[in-house]
């Protein structure tokens, strides 16, 4: 069966069982390896991507739920050579230790900033709660998001870098 979905601005016709989790398609078919497999049960957030503007756990999002919709992955937020503003803030605040949670943290934070360019600390904390970091870098992650949230032009914080590798 074919599922038509836009991923990082690019239309895709995906041939796979409709029950296949989006995470598997991203990593195994499209070589978008930013989103990670952590728990596979919607409990850690390592696999978070943005679906029609909202953060979702791609490990429990089947292709059947994606027809005609738009997905953004961390690869669309910037690249190693040209990090987006949120990525640059994560680097500046050294928010990553092992880094396993970071793609999910970035995409979840991006979804918030897209809807609320200047969230309060409380809004940031509540929004980020579903994503876990077992290295305990939450304070640094929050500092990075806060810096972007308090910046002059939140829109510039997440200029898409469609197709770029993260
Ligand atoms: Fe998807 Fe943990 S791998 S929520
Ligand atoms: Fe290691 Fe978050 S940096 S899990």
Convert the pLDDT of each residue in 84-142 to its tens digit: 999 999 999 999 999 999 999 999 999 999 999 999 999 999 999 999 999 999 999 99
> b or e along 27-55 (b: 16 or more beta carbons within 10 Å of the residue's beta carbon)?
beeeebebbbebeeeeebbbbbbbbeeeb
Q: In terms of residue numbers, what domain contains 120?
A: 85-158
Of 41, 76, 111, the residue that ends a domain is 76
Q: Which of 21, 39, 107 maximizes ligand 1 atoms within 8 Å of its Cβ, making it the mutation to test the pocket?
A: 39
- pLDDT reported for residue 45: 98
The pLDDT of residue 81 is above 50: yes
Pocket test for ligand 2, best of 128, 137, 140 (most atoms within 8 A of CB): 137
Q: Are residues 128 and 154 in the same domain?
A: yes
- Position 151 confidence tier, pLDDT thresholds 50, 70, 90: confident
- Is the confidence at residue 160, as pLDDT, over 80? no
Say yes or no: 68 and 91 in one domain. no
Q: Is there a domain that residue 99 lies in? A: yes
Give the pLDDT score at 161.
47
Same domain, 55 and 114: no
Question: CATH number of the domain that 6 lies in?
Answer: 3.10.20.30
pLDDT band at 1 (very low <50, low <70, confident <90, very high): confident
- The answer as to whether 163 is a domain residue is no
pTM attached to this predicted model: 0.91
36 located within any domain: yes
- Strands 2-7 vs 10-15: parallel, antiparallel or unpaired: antiparallel
| Closest among 102, 99, 141, 137 to 124, alpha carbons compared | 141
Which residue has the CA at smallest separation from atom 2 of ligand 2? 133
């Amino acid at each position: 069966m074919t599922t038509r979905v836009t991923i990082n601005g690019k239309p895709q016709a995906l041939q796979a069982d409709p029950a296949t989790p989006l995470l598997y398609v991203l990593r195994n078919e499209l070589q978008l390896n930013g989103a990670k497999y952590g728990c596979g049960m919607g409990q850690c957030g390592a696999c978070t991507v943005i679906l029609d503007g909202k953060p979702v756990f791609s490990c429990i999002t089947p292709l059947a739920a994606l027809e005609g919709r738009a997905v953004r992955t961390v690869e669309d937020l910037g690249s190693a050579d040209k990090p987006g503003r949120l990525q640059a803030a994560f680097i500046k605040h050294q928010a990553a230790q092992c880094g396993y949670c970071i793609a999910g943290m970035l995409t979840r934070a991006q979804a918030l900033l897209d809807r609320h360019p200047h969230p309060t600390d409380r809004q940031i904390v509540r929004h980020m709660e579903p994503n876990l970091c077992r290295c305990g870098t939450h304070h640094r992650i929050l500092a990075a998001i806060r810096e972007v949230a308090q910046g002059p032009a939140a829109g510039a914080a997440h200029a898409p870098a469609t197709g770029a590798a993260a």
